[in-house]
Amino acid sequence: MANLKEVRVRISSTISTQQITKAMKLVSATKLRKAQSAIFQMRPYADKLNGVLKNLGDSVDDEKLSKYFREQTLDRVLLIVVSSDRGLCGGFNANVVKRTRTLLNNEYAELVAKKKVDLLFIGKKGFEMLKKFELPTNTEFMGTFGQLNADSGFAIGDYAMDKFLNGTYNRVEVVYNKFKNAATQIVSNEILLPVSIKKSAATKSVSNDYIFEPNKVEILEELIPRSIKTQLYRSLLDSFASEHGARMISMDKATDNAGEILKQLKLQYNRGRQAAITNEISEIVGGAAALNG
């Protein structure tokens, strides 16, 4: 009977866990719909703005503006690591951390040895998993996903641009999960600064013979920072949607697994109960036969 009691406790615990995972799945599904709508609306604007910027980049002759595009000798790098604040989302955070480690151990290995790679964390999980590198870290924006909007996203872009323009960093790179659909997230790393002016085949066909009003420099002074901040904000929206997609799928699988475990436990319980009843009947029959004998 003691064994049956343990099985009953496990059944009760599994049912409670299943209810929690099912509720988390529904919450993530609701948040995913909103996040998915936000990223799908942002992408066309961000892509078009980036395309215009690349067309204009190779014709910028103003010293201040050309700094955004100029490749420099790598001396100090800022890596923006975009993860989540909570777990239970499958390999979402592990994939970002793995890509970041690959960059640190390969492309930036020499700078890492000199402690010249700074890590800016957006999301607590990335910080928890990468702090053992003992590199300079910035956790000022770690709680951004608590209230993600254009202002909070642009604030990070302003910080990165200021540090790049004053020479603190020669490169700013962001590592994040790009949203494809609820079941698929593509881990990506993109160089935010300096702005690349390499054009794709589609971009090359676009004419860069623009007429500027009031003048080219004034327009680009507004356009370049906005484009950079928009690219970073798009990365945050991608990651936010990816997180909820990953958690929804993970919790769906966890709910199904809990159902399978329940089936096995109930079968085990019924078999144990049947064996106990059979044993009791055997004892009663045996006792009655002894009395009659």
Marked catalytic residue, from 53, 79, 89, 248: 89
Rounded Cα–Cα distance for residues 46 and 62 (Å): 24
- 89 catalytic per annotation: yes
User: Cα 52 to chain center, whole Å?
Assistant: 28
Rounded Cα–Cα distance for residues 74 and 282 (Å): 83
Nearest to 193 by CA among 286, 95, 291, 67: 67
Contacts of 37 (CB under 8 A, 6+ apart): none
End-to-end CA gap in the chain: 30
User: Cα 97 to chain center, whole Å?
Assistant: 10
Rounded Cα–Cα distance for residues 184 and 91 (Å): 11
- Tokens at residue 168, please? 């603190």
Catalytic site positions: 89
